[in-house]
Amino acid sequence: MTLLSHLDCRAASGEHPERHLAGYAGILQADAYAGFNTVYKSERRPGPIIEAACWAHARRKFFELAAIASKARGKTAVISPIAFEAVQTIDAVFMLERAINGLSPPERLAARRTDIAPVVKDLVDWMRQERAKLSRHNDVAKAMDYMLKRIDAFKRFLDDGRICLSNNAAERALRGIALGRKSWLFAGSDRGAERAAVMLTLIQTAQAQRRRSPGLACRCTGAHQRSRHPQARSAAALELEDRARQTGGMMSPIRPNTASDSFNEIATVRIELRHTDPLIWRQVEVPTSITLKVLHDIIQAVIGWFDYHFWEFTIGKQRYGLPMDDDWGAKPCTAAAKVRLRDVLKQRKTIIDYTYDFGDCWEHRLTVTGVRAGQPGVPYPRYINGERNGPPEDCGGIPGFYELLRALADPAHPDHAHLKEWAGDYDPATFDPLPIKYALGRIANRRNAAKVRLAKKKHVR
């Protein structure tokens, strides 16, 4: 059954997950949302809920780092070899899992213990060895910590054939809820919202049953995942190369200017994290030639997200993001990697809505103004200004974020200790722009490499 719950607040304290799952004991496959911590306690009644972590979430950050390093086409050197190695090994796990899709849980379990467990062991041993050499502020170290701190949950699928490798199917199911969030206002009350949740549960369960292939795990791996097998190794490389083409190659502009001219055109973008008070915001200058996928990368960098979740832009009535199989009957989502910022700009000011993580539903409002020629010798994108630290990933959206802040500020709060440990040294008022400038500098380097290639082509002609 696919269950969609009405929760008036996804608080980081875990009050609402505990209430919703009060009568449940079993397996819960989810992200690292802090609100689930209470349901994982061994003394819980009627019984503990067993955490199963999502490998797709772990893979995404490594893939972003590897993709950043692979943008310089035609070069064999890789700037982040550790991230690239991690992607290849995780892809090997997905490839082996794909080969046993459709088998019964006992058959999958036997195959996992024979074929996949040794690969996972080698990956964990290798990560621990490499992690010891890295600073805790290193991006690769943060991606490793995400797995190593939850390694028992990540390895749990090796002991239970019912567990999937990822919860991508659940996130896709939530997409329709996130996109239709304004429509759910008709509920009018908690009771009405609970009834709506029951109806949506029935609808989504029926859709899942209609689409389901033999075997529960067959829907739990994505088409984007590859393997370390020689043939699949080249596929992983091709995937990274495709990302390079999407963000580094040129598309024919709609405006009557040349591709070379568009490289020198920039715009000012103010990014606001909606419903935060005091407001969390950033201001950057970006080339209008970037794709919306690169704009997504910029937002992730300046707010401090880790790109673990699905995301989407809305401009007018059109949606841009990562196309999926099920768009809930809505107009299909346009691939963000195929559309450039200049193609969606209006004459004076352009408003762009951006949603990250359809579970936590972080809503951003982008205001694009001041399209003009860039300054010679200045690398773009460029950080200009901003205020306040971005929220921690997977803290439960806006309600969970402020519940987390209340718990951290109050030593008497019942969840103060475990949320303090989960949040680490997070301080909402402390904001360091240096990591942002560093991350944007890497994006600027990729853009400059593409500009050099464009100049060479122009010279050859």
What pLDDT shows up at residue 218? 39
What pLDDT shows up at residue 356? 94
More confident: 394 or 209: 394
Phi-psi region of 142 (alpha: psi -120 to 50; beta: other; left: phi over 0): alpha
What pLDDT shows up at residue 25? 82
With 0-12 / 13-18 / 19 or more C-beta atoms within 10 angstroms meaning exposed / middle / buried, residue 377 is exposed
More confident: 297 or 26: 297
> What is the mean pLDDT of the segment spanning 123-140?
90
Structure tokens at 269: 């973008």
With 0-12 / 13-18 / 19 or more C-beta atoms within 10 angstroms meaning exposed / middle / buried, residue 10 is buried
Phi, psi values for residue 11, rounded to 5°:
-70, 145
What pLDDT shows up at residue 235? 40
Domain residue limits, the chain: 15-240, 256-395+431-460
More confident: 433 or 449: 433
- Spell out the residues 6+ positions from residue 370 whose beta carbon is closer than 8 angstroms to its own: 267, 268
| pLDDT tens track for 188-225 | 677 777 777 787 778 777 766 665 544 433 334 333 33
Taking the C-alpha atoms of residue 233 and residue 274, their distance in angstroms, rounded to an integer, is 41
The torsion defined by the Cα of 113, 116, 119 and 121, in degrees rounded to 10, comes to -40
DSSP 3-state of 273:
strand
> What is the mean pLDDT of the segment spanning 19-32?
80
> What is the mean pLDDT of the segment spanning 339-367?
92
**Residue whose token pair is 């704009």:** 295
Structure tokens at 343: 């193609």
Could you give the angle at the alpha carbon of 149 between the alpha carbons of 133 and 57, nearest 5°? 100
| pLDDT tens track for 28-63 | 877 777 667 777 877 778 877 888 888 988 888 788
284 forms bridges with which residues in the sheet?
Answer: 269, 383
Q: What is the number of residues in the chain?
A: 461
With 0-12 / 13-18 / 19 or more C-beta atoms within 10 angstroms meaning exposed / middle / buried, residue 297 is buried
What pLDDT shows up at residue 300? 94
| pLDDT tens track for 239-279 | 444 444 443 333 333 343 444 455 689 999 999 999 999 99
What pLDDT shows up at residue 451? 67
More confident: 209 or 155: 155
What does CATH list as the number for 256-395+431-460?
Answer: 3.10.290.30
Give the rounded percent of residues in the chain with a pLDDT score beyond 70. Answer: 72
With 0-12 / 13-18 / 19 or more C-beta atoms within 10 angstroms meaning exposed / middle / buried, residue 235 is middle
When mean pLDDT is compared across 44-53, 87-96, 125-134, the lowest value belongs to 44-53
**Residue whose token pair is 């090997």:** 92
Nearest to 270 by CA among 290, 244, 297, 298: 298
Q: Is the pLDDT of residue 64 over 50?
A: yes
Taking the C-alpha atoms of residue 324 and residue 303, their distance in angstroms, rounded to an integer, is 25
Q: Is the pLDDT of residue 143 over 70?
A: yes
Identify which of 1-5, 143-147, 230-234 has the greatest average pLDDT.
143-147
Ordered DSSP codes for 247-260: HHS----SSSS-HH
Q: Is the pLDDT of residue 161 over 80?
A: yes
Ordered DSSP codes for 202-221: HHHHHHHHHHPPSSGGGGSS
Q: Is the pLDDT of residue 288 over 50?
A: yes
> What is the mean pLDDT of the segment spanning 367-388?
93
What pLDDT shows up at residue 203? 75
Helix (H) or strand (E) run with residue 58 in it: helix 55-69
